[in-house]
Copies of this chain bind each other. A is one copy, B any other.
Amino acid sequence: MPKIVNHEKMRSEIARKAIALLAKKGFQATTIQDIANAAGVGKGTIYHYFRTKEEILLVVSNELFYEMERSFGAALLRIDDPLDKMAALIEEAMHVNEDVENIFIVYTELWLINVHSHKYQDFVGVIKKMHHDLTALVSNMIDAGKNRGRWDRDTDSQALACYLVSSFDGVIAHYMIDKEKIDIKKVTKEFIRFLLQRGAPRK
C-alpha cells in the first residue's frame, strides 16, 4: 500500500529546507544530493516531487513570497497613521537578519537567472509581485499623507513609491557586503527622518 503523502506539502517542505542551502552555496553549487540530505530523503525521492532541479527553484520562489508577505503584513497590521506606517515599513524592510539575508540571496539569484534566460520568467514573478504590492502600499500611504495634509500634493505617488521600494534592495545589498563600513540602522534612521521631515509639505 502506498504511503500517503501530501504531494504539495512535501514540495514546499523540501523547497523550504533548500533555501538555506541555496543561500549558502548558490543554485549551481547546490546538488540534488545536498537538497535530498537536507530534506532527509533519498536523492531519487526528490524526483518524485520535482521533475527537474529548476522546478525546485520555482517552488522555492513561492515559499519566499509567502515568507516575505507574512513578515511585511505583520509589521503593518497595527499602525494607523500613514506616515508612521511608512516608517514602520521602511524599518521592517531594512531589518536584516540571517533569514532575511538568505531570502535576499536566493532572490538575487532568481533575479540573475531570469536576466540570463528570459525563458524562466516565472522565477521573478514573485519579485515583481512583491515589488508591485509594496509600491501600491507605499503609494497609498503617500496619498493618505497627502489627504491629511501631511505630504506635498504635487508628488507623483506612484513614481516616488516605486523609487522608495526599489531602493531597499540596493541598501541591503551594499550592507551585506560591507557590514563593517555601513551602519544600516543609522542609514535607515536618517533616511526616514529625511523622508518624513515634519513641516513637510513645503509651500
Contact = CB atoms under 8 A, between A and B. Distances in A.
A195 B26 CA distance: 37
A166 B163 contact: no
Interface string A92-127: 000000000000010011011111100000001001
A199 interface: yes
A79 interface: no
A183 interface: yes
A128 interface: yes
Interface residues of A, number: 57
Which of the listed residues A25, A156, A159, A171 has the most CB atoms from chain B within 10 Å of its own CB?
Answer: A159
A112 B30 CA distance: 14
A148 interface: no
A111 B173 contact: yes
Interface stretch (A8-16, A53-61, A67-75, A186-194): A186-194
A28 B124 CA distance: 20
Contact of A156 (B131, B177, B190): B190
7 contacts: A108-B108, A108-B112, A128-B177, A156-B190, A160-B194, A163-B171, A200-B202
